[in-house]
Structures are given as C-alpha cells and as structure tokens.
C-alpha cells in the first residue's frame, strides 16, 4: 500500500471514530462537544479524500474550503455546501468562552437540535467520502 493510500485510510478511520464519539456525546447531552466533533469528522473525511487522490491537504480546518477542493475532484460533493457551512461555525465557539458573547459559555449555549443537525451533516459528508473512496459500510 502506498503512502497516500495509508494516509487516506488513517484519516477516514479517525473521521468514523469521531462520528461514534458524536453519537455518545449527543446521548450524554454534551451538545457543544458533539457539534465540534461533527466538524472534525467532516474535516478528516475530506482530508482522507484528498490524500486518496494524491493531493496533500491544505493546512486548514474549514470544511467548506476542503469541500470546494474535493468537489473539484468529485463533483457530486459540491451539493453539500450547506452542510459544510453549518459545520464550520462549530470549530472555535464550541470550545472557547471568549468566542461567544459574555456571559455565554459553550457547554451551555448549544442545543440538542444543533448537535443533531451537525451530526447529520457530518454523517452525510463522511458517507459521501466513503462512497467516493469505494469503501462500504
């Protein structure tokens, strides 16, 4: 197996693990963390696709930016811009109190509805990447 294939598998494996973590966090009512891990799952899945296509992923955490690059390689991914935009808003403010207006704190700001929407968006992106990579399940 070549280096890019190994990296693609590693990144996809972590994306799938992050999705499992999201499900646990939602059940435990840790909604801010669930939103963040949803963003992470999508980011890692898209980086897996870039590695698979022998493209070194850029140093970014923007799901929307990664999606644009991946859609240039797999056009069907372009239909997921709304999901990417939703997930991008959870990268920083879900973790840092100073990213929110006082007196809000991340652990009390996010709702079940937001966490579930983030999870669904991440699941769609990960599933699309799996399909593009020809990975079943």
Does the pTM exceed 0.85? yes
Q: How far apart are CA 70 and CA 73, in angstroms?
A: 5
pLDDT tens digits, 33-45: 999 999 999 999 9
Virtual torsion, Cα 69, 35, 124, 65, nearest 10 deg = -10
Tokens representing 124? 């769609």
pLDDT of 93 above 90: yes
User: How much is the pLDDT for 46?
Assistant: 99
The 10s digit of each residue's pLDDT in 103-122 is 999 999 999 999 999 999 99
| pLDDT tens-place string over residues 46-91 | 999 999 999 999 999 999 999 999 999 999 999 999 999 999 999 9
Domains of the chain, first to last: 3-133 (1.20.120.330)
Q: Could you tell me the pLDDT band of residue 3, with boundaries at 50, 70 and 90?
A: confident
Using alpha carbons, select from 68, 81, 79, 84 the residue that is nearest to residue 122: 84
8 A C-beta contact, residue 123 and residue 130: no
Q: In the 8-state DSSP scheme, what is residue 79?
A: G
* Range 126-137 average pLDDT: 92
3-class secondary structure, 62: coil
Listing DSSP states for 40-54 in one string gives HHHHHHHHHHHHHTT
Residue 137 is predicted with a pLDDT of 64
User: In which region does residue 29 sit, left (phi positive, over 0), alpha (psi from -120 to 50) or beta (all else)?
Assistant: left
Reported as a single tens digit per residue, the pLDDT across 9-30 is 999 999 999 999 999 999 999 9
């Amino acid at each position: 197996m070549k280096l890019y294939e190994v990296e693609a598998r590693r990144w996809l494996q972590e994306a799938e693990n992050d999705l499992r973590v999201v499900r646990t966090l939602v059940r435990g009512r840790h909604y801010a963390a669930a939103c963040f891990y949803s963003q992470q799952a999508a980011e890692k899945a898209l980086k897996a696709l870039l590695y698979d296509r022998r493209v070194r992923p850029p140093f970014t955490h923007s799901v929307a930016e990664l999606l644009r690059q991946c859609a240039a390689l797999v056009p069907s991914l372009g239909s997921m811009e709304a999901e990417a935009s939703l997930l991008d808003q959870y990268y920083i403010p879900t973790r840092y109190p100073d990213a929110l207006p006082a007196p809000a704190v991340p652990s009390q700001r996010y709702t079940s509805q937001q966490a579930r929407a983030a999870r669904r968006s991440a699941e769609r992106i990960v599933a699309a990447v799996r399909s593009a990579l020809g990975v079943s399940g």
